């Protein structure tokens, strides 16, 4: 069978690093090929070469048996290649439908586009409002926009870069059903994921990259998750710490918080929560139910309409984010580029922006900032180890490790984290989890928002669920099951204001 895609001796180097080193691989029609590797192994660069965003220094690309030189994503689309990016390529000021129209070659009216978006969303369980402005959407909803846009072009080759990182387990199941159906219809799929169980379930073959080179191609169904992890990192993967901690006084308290929503944005309704020193409290829920806006209120980025945020027993409602940080509240936002970091700035410069630790009487303590950044890079294994590298030049997982490490090593009294291991490989995820648990044992209060249910069960002491802007009670993890958590994620906890999916008994 003629391969749908064949790469021969692909090499791409940047100053100080070889991202792809003599890579050869092929994908057959109807085949799902997984690409597995640590953060910084060269996966995004390779996908960008296939999609026409990056030109290789050496090597050739064949598509359907003929050599091609793909100079742009539009040329890739014309060949039948579509891509779902890890860092979303969407215009925040435009609507979902406008973004989809701009991303496909087909000429289509806004009305027809909106109808097809609704149809695809309903069919594949990735519904999103076509009239919503992207800036108002959560990261999970933005990922749905990317997936729908890719499916709209009826691709021959579909590239998926961490497509499930902010999807619920139910949505992942539906997405996998979709991908299996597409493969059965002859669509080739390149699937990048750090979730080893997903690779074993979905992929026909798995190619492992390490330091920009192909290490091996295996049948993942014949390997255990530990086998794949060892192949990926070249050694035994780190183990998750097991520890207990006695909670202390209340460190962060949310008192009856409310925030107006809108047609496209979920508000907050009478949210109450207490996080004690020395404990990790997790918030589960489907993306778009108000979790990120709740954390924005905690940090002072959004102003609530009612209620109060208490930090170590003191109301901080009138304090801005910098003033709250100075009092010991730190934040890892969901969006790495543009929120957690300035893309064009170096890691050192991003460190300087995080507070008053590296300035005194108007003078910048650059040497101390650089020393701190190097410590973050060392402790959290950020690659390449270049504190002067621009944030946008790092892979998503390595940038995540830097941001999480930066906040943890600042010794916060309270840390709030939105999606701590989004797009991070299994080894790095364990490093982040262990660091959070060490911080808890040192007496910090930690609030974690995650759509990774396994992650919450692994590291949290108590867990709550957010649904349509309302927060369930936070209960001990030992008292919660996965099945019960799934019911709560539909708003069905005891005492919930929701019936049939709507407040006050209104029908959904």
Assign residue 258 the CATH number of its domain.
3.40.50.300
Using the Cα atoms of residue 89, residue 397, residue 32 and residue 287 in order, give the sign of their dihedral.
Answer: negative
Per the CB < 8 A criterion, the answer to whether 413 and 277 are in contact is yes
Instruction: Answer yes or no: do 305 and 438 share one domain.
Output: yes
Contacts with 251 (C-beta within 8 Å, 6 or more apart), sequence order: 275, 276, 277, 311, 312, 413, 414, 444, 445
Cα separation of 331 and 311, whole Å? 14
Q: Give domain status of residue 80, yes or no.
A: yes
Which pLDDT value is given to residue 502? 47
Residue 207's SS3 state is strand
Least trusted range by pLDDT, from 34-38, 75-79, 138-142, 432-436:
138-142
Domain boundary among 200, 233, 266: 233
Residue 374 has pLDDT above 50, yes or no: yes
Instruction: Answer yes or no: do 189 and 258 share one domain.
Output: no
Place of tokens 């619920």: 168
Cα separation of 280 and 275, whole Å? 8
Q: Give domain status of residue 239, yes or no.
A: no
Cα separation of 143 and 139, whole Å? 6
How many domains in the chain?
A: 2
Cα separation of 504 and 333, whole Å? 32
Contacts with 357 (C-beta within 8 Å, 6 or more apart), sequence order: 368, 372, 410
Q: Give domain status of residue 245, yes or no.
A: no
Q: Give domain status of residue 240, yes or no.
A: no
Cα separation of 96 and 92, whole Å? 9
pTM: 0.75
Cα separation of 397 and 399, whole Å? 5
DSSP category for residue 341: B
Cα separation of 125 and 294, whole Å? 25
Phi first, then psi, for residue 206 (nearest 5°) are: -135, 120
Cα separation of 508 and 500, whole Å? 6
**Partners of 63 in beta bridges:** 5, 66
Residue 384 has pLDDT above 90, yes or no: no
Closest CA to 27 of 257, 186, 142, 149: 186
pLDDT tens for each residue of 307-335: 999 999 999 999 999 999 999 999 999 88
Residue 500 has pLDDT above 70, yes or no: no
Instruction: Give the pair of three-digit tokens for residue 177.
Output: 């059903």
Residue 505 has pLDDT above 50, yes or no: no
Q: When comparing pLDDT for 14 and 123, which is higher?
A: 14
Per the CB < 8 A criterion, the answer to whether 57 and 11 are in contact is yes
Instruction: Answer yes or no: do 11 and 145 share one domain.
Output: yes
Q: Give domain status of residue 30, yes or no.
A: yes
Q: Give domain status of residue 238, yes or no.
A: no
Identify the domain containing residue 166 by its residue range. 5-233
pLDDT tens for each residue of 175-215: 888 889 889 989 999 999 888 999 999 999 999 999 899 99
Question: pLDDT class for 423, splitting at 50, 70, 90?
Answer: confident
Question: pLDDT class for 448, splitting at 50, 70, 90?
Answer: very high
Instruction: Answer yes or no: do 149 and 282 share one domain.
Output: no
Question: pLDDT class for 499, splitting at 50, 70, 90?
Answer: low
Instruction: Answer yes or no: do 345 and 201 share one domain.
Output: no
Cα separation of 37 and 116, whole Å? 35
Instruction: Answer yes or no: do 371 and 422 share one domain.
Output: yes
Instruction: Report the half-sphere exposure of 346 (CA within 13 A, side-chain side).
Output: 15
Instruction: Give the pair of three-digit tokens for residue 76.
Output: 């890739």
Cα separation of 40 and 402, whole Å? 13
Instruction: Answer yes or no: do 325 and 465 share one domain.
Output: yes
Contacts with 424 (C-beta within 8 Å, 6 or more apart), sequence order: 39, 194, 397, 400, 401, 432
**Partners of 475 in beta bridges:** 463
Per the CB < 8 A criterion, the answer to whether 36 and 206 are in contact is yes
Instruction: Answer yes or no: do 207 and 82 share one domain.
Output: yes
Cis ω for the linkage preceding 384 (within 30 of 0): yes
Q: Give domain status of residue 66, yes or no.
A: yes
Contacts with 220 (C-beta within 8 Å, 6 or more apart), sequence order: 34, 199, 200, 203, 205, 206, 228
CA distances from 48 to 56, 151, 190, 232, 461 (A): 10, 18, 12, 21, 41
Domain boundary among 170, 203, 233: 233
Instruction: Answer yes or no: do 213 and 281 share one domain.
Output: no
Residue 503 has pLDDT above 50, yes or no: no
Instruction: Answer yes or no: do 275 and 342 share one domain.
Output: yes
Domain boundary among 207, 233, 259: 233
Using the Cα atoms of residue 336, residue 339, residue 342 and residue 343 in order, give the sign of their dihedral.
Answer: positive
CA end-to-end distance (rounded Å), the chain: 49
Instruction: Answer yes or no: do 332 and 476 share one domain.
Output: yes
Mean pLDDT of 232-248: 82
Q: Give domain status of residue 241, yes or no.
A: no
Which pLDDT value is given to residue 13? 93
Place of tokens 């003033």: 323
Cα separation of 181 and 381, whole Å? 39
Residue 352's SS3 state is helix
Cα separation of 417 and 298, whole Å? 11
* Count of C-beta atoms within a 10 Å radius of residue 400: 27
Instruction: Answer yes or no: do 429 and 389 share one domain.
Output: yes
């Amino acid at each position: 069978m003629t391969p749908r895609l064949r790469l021969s001796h692909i090499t791409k180097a940047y100053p100080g690093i070889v991202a792809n080193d003599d890579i050869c691989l092929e994908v057959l029609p109807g085949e799902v090929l997984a690409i597995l590797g640590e953060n910084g192994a060269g996966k995004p660069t390779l996908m960008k070469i296939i999609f026409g965003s990056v030109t290789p220094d050496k090597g050739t690309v064949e598509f359907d048996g003929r050599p091609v030189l793909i100079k742009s994503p539009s040329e890739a689309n014309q060949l039948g290649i579509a891509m779902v990016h890890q860092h979303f390529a969407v215009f925040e000021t435009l609507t979902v439908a406008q973004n989809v129209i701009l991303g496909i070659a087909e000429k289509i009216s806004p009305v027809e586009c909106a109808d097809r978006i609704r149809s695809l969303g309903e069919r594949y369980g990735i519904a999103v409002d076509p009239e919503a402005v992207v800036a108002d959407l959560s990261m999970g909803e933005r990922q749905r926009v990317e997936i729908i846009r890719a499916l709209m072009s009826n691709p021959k080759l579909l590239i998926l870069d961490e497509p499930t990182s902010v999807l619920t387990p139910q949505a992942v199941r539906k997405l996998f059903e979709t991908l299996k159906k597409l493969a059965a219809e002859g669509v080739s799929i390149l699937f990048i994921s750090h979730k080893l169980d997903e690779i074993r379930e979905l992929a026909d073959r798995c190619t492992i990259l390490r330091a920009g080179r192909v290490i091996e191609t295996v049948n993942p169904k014949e390997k255990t998750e530990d086998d794949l992890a060892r192949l990926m990192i070249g050694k035994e993967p780190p183990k998750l710490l097991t520890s207990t901690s006695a909670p202390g006084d209340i460190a962060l308290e949310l008192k009856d918080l409310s925030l107006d929503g809108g047609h496209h944005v979920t508000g907050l309704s009478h949210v109450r929560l207490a996080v004690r020193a020395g404990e990790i409290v997790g918030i589960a829920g489907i993306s778009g139910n108000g979790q990120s806006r709740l954390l924005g209120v905690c940090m002072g980025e959004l102003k609530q309409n009612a209620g109060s945020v208490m930090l170590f027993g003191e109301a901080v409602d009138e304090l801005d984010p910098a003033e709250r940080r100075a009092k010991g509240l730190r934040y890892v936002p969901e969006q790495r580029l543009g929120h957690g970091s300035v893309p064009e700035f170096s890691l050192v410069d991003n460190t300087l922006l995080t507070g008053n630790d590296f300035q005194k009487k108007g003078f910048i303590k650059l040497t101390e900032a650089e020393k701190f950044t190097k410590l973050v890079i060392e402790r959290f294994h950020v690659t390449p180890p270049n504190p002067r590298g621009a944030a946008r030049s790092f892979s998503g997982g390595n940038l995540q490790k830097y941001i999480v490490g930066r906040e943890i090593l600042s010794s916060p009294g309270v840390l709030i984290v939105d999606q701590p291991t989004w797009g991070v490989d299994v080894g790095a995820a364990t490093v982040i989890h262990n660091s959070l648990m060490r911080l808890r044992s040192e007496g910090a209060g930690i609030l974690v928002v995650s759509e990774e249910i396994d992650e919450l069960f692994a590291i949290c002491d108590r867990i709550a669920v957010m649904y349509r802007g309302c927060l369930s009670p936070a209960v001990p993890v030992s008292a919660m099951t996965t099945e019960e958590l799934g019911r709560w994620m539909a708003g069905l906890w005891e005492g919930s204001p929701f019936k049939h999916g709507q407040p006050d008994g209104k029908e959904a």
